Amino acid sequence: MAVLDIIDTNAEKISEIELNDSVFNVTVKSHILHDVATMQLAKRRSGTAAVKHRSQVRGSSKKLFRQKGTGRARRGDIKSPLLRGGGSVFGPDPRSYEKKLTKKVKKMALKMALSSKLASGDLLIIDSFGMQSTSTKRFNDILRSIKAVNALIIVPDNDPAVQLSARNLPRTSVLRQDGLNVYDILKHRTLVITRSSIDKIEGRLAS
């Protein structure tokens, strides 16, 4: 098992922790990470773009003028796509961009994302932030102290002091451990996990 230091808010080592190899030391396959990240982004698309087609445009269905004898081009009703105000032919319709992947693949991708952060040295385990009240300045000082750049912070449960303190910091996000996902891990450079979150993550992902 990989052994990682547990640090405090001053970046000083206070203890060590053994990380489960089945969660933090799996073979990383980039195509699986790509598939899951693409799936997450696709689910965020609303797919509500739409136009009115000929049958949906409000207007008379009467033929504008007779077929022959006028010297003009043949015309149908006023809802024709060739006329101004008529229906659209090839415009978009509401659709779902959702992609489906199995639970096994999504779980494996999350392990791979965690393993990639450990392998690159961008995984930090902090004992606790010790935030009793909201203070963006203090929280920013902690991140600078532990050298957490472009950081994703993982807390065990709702932590209003940490969440509100990080709200206005650029390129910094806070997630509960049950909201941990592949896209956010890959999006941020540094992954900072609190000590109490590790057990919950391993308990959920360990095979």
Which pair of structure tokens corresponds to residue 165? 């303190």
pLDDT tens digits, 123-151:
999 999 988 899 999 999 999 999 999 99
Q: What is the mean pLDDT of residues 163-175?
A: 94
Which residue, 30, 43, 10, 20, is CA-closest to 144? Answer: 10
Q: Which CATH class is domain 2-45+99-205?
A: alpha beta
Mean pLDDT score of the chain: 94
Q: State the burial class of residue 125 (Cβ atoms within 10 Å of its Cβ: 0-12, 13-18, 19+).
A: buried
86 pLDDT above the threshold of 70: yes
Q: What is the mean pLDDT of residues 40-66?
A: 94
206 band by pLDDT with thresholds 50, 70 and 90: confident
Domain spans in the chain, listed from the N-terminal domain onward: 2-45+99-205, 47-96
2 pLDDT above the threshold of 90: no
Cβ pair 198, 17 in contact under 8 A:
yes
- pLDDT at 207 (0 to 100): 65
Distance, CA of 101 to CA of 110 (rounded, Å): 13
- pLDDT at 159 (0 to 100): 87
Which residue, 3, 27, 14, is CA-closest to 109? Answer: 27
pLDDT tens digits, 33-48:
999 999 999 999 999 9
